[in-house]
Each structure stands twice: as C-alpha cells, then as structure tokens.
Amino acid sequence: MKFNRAIAALTLLAAMTVSAVPARAQVAEAAAVAAPIVVHTLTPKKKAPSGTWLKAEVLHADDNSMVVSEQGNERVIHTFTYSDSVKAKMRKIVDNGNYQYGDKIKIQYTPGQTVALKIHGKPSKSS
C-alpha cells in the first residue's frame, strides 16, 4: 500500500508540474487566431448598358443637348445630353448643318436617365 500511495503522490506531483507550465502550442495558436484574415473577391465586369430605343422627332438640337418629342405622342417631350461617344459625333453633325426641326431619329438611352447612348438618323439638309 505504501507503494500505491507513493505512485499516487508522484502522479499528482507530475500533474501539478505539467499544468503550471503553459503549453507552447496553445500560445502559437492564440497568436495565429489574432492575425487578420484577408479575403480576395472577384467582381464581375460590368457590361455596357443596352438601353431602350426611342423613336422621336427633333424639336431642337445643339452640341450640348437635344430636345425631342415621341413619335407616337407629340406631347411627351424628352431632353437628352450626350455620352462621350455621341458628343464627338454630334460636334461633326453640328458643323455640317445639324438636325432640323421635325427630323425623325432613334435615340438609345437607359430608362430613368437623360443621357443619349446612341443616336440613329440622318440630319436633313439645311436650307
């Protein structure tokens, strides 16, 4: 029995000694958890807006904006500014005579916005 008590005492003493010393793996793991996590996400490329086409008649046009009325309902009037690509095209058209009152054109734009993305239609010859 003395032998059993001695073994129990040594086991208890060894357990107390081991529990008093901090484990190295726990310290390293705690440091790893504190490091920031960086997540890289891929954003999809935005497509150019397809827009809606509007059939219209020109009321007024210059190199900054265009005022048109819808072909189906003359009382509905829209004023459009130009996108960068249309602005360059409109400068050339204004230099060559511009759109005249009553010219029939089609304008592509994004609903809810007043920027013309594309303009189709020939300007009439000025008199």
Burial tier of 99 (Cβ tally within 10 Å: 0-12, 13-18, 19+): buried
Residue 99: closest CA among 55, 57, 61, 54: 61
Domain ranges of the chain: 2-34, 52-120
Average pLDDT over residues 5-25: 65
Residue 49 has pLDDT above 60, yes or no: no
Predicted local distance difference test score (pLDDT) of residue 86: 93
The pLDDT value recorded for residue 2 is 62
CATH architecture type of domain 52-120: Beta Barrel (2.40)
Could you tell me which residues come within 8 angstroms of residue 59 by beta carbon, excluding any fewer than 6 positions away? 67, 68, 69, 77, 101
- In the block, tokens 């010859």 appear at 125
